[in-house]
Structure 1
Amino acid sequence: MSRFEIAKDTVQVVTESAASHVGRIATILSGAVREVTHEVGEWASDVVEMRDAAARAREADLAGNARGFDAEDDPTV
């Protein structure tokens, strides 16, 4: 084999190896981004649910106070 062929083969193998590793790294990163996005979405849903529950509790408390007793005294709450 000539020096040119050896160099060409070396460059080819290194390029193929780099492409494989970059592809694997991209797969890892895209999976991580997907998982982080999922967790942030779940957290946002929890925040919305807590906000809605707090609003319902305030409304129930205000309704109870309007009837002349605290929501804590209401056996149906």
Structure 2
Amino acid sequence: LRSAAARDDEPELARRAGTLLTPRLVRARPGTALALPAGDTYALTGFPAAPRADAVPAPAPGPGQVLVEVRALALGDDAVPATSAGV
């Protein structure tokens, strides 16, 4: 564990049941990518069992608020596992 933690090329490590884990991005398996509706805004629901994306109107920001555009998002098999810190 100490030698793995001392490595500069792995800045994030988690130990679970005696196994060292580190976050990785991987391509979606064929047929598992979430289909997105037409349009620019949608709501993600149904995680983790039956994820879906539904088109929704973009909310108008209120006073002192901003609208944030998200261009990429990664979720683990159980939505956001502890090993995906920072995602």
Report the TM-score range of the alignment, normalised by the length of the smaller protein. under 0.3
Q: Which has the higher helix share?
A: 1
The two structures have a TM-score, normalised by structure 1, of 0.21
Q: Which has the higher strand share?
A: 2
Which of the pair has the greater relative contact order for Cα pairs under 8 Å at 6+ separation?
Answer: 2
The two structures have a TM-score, normalised by structure 2, of 0.20
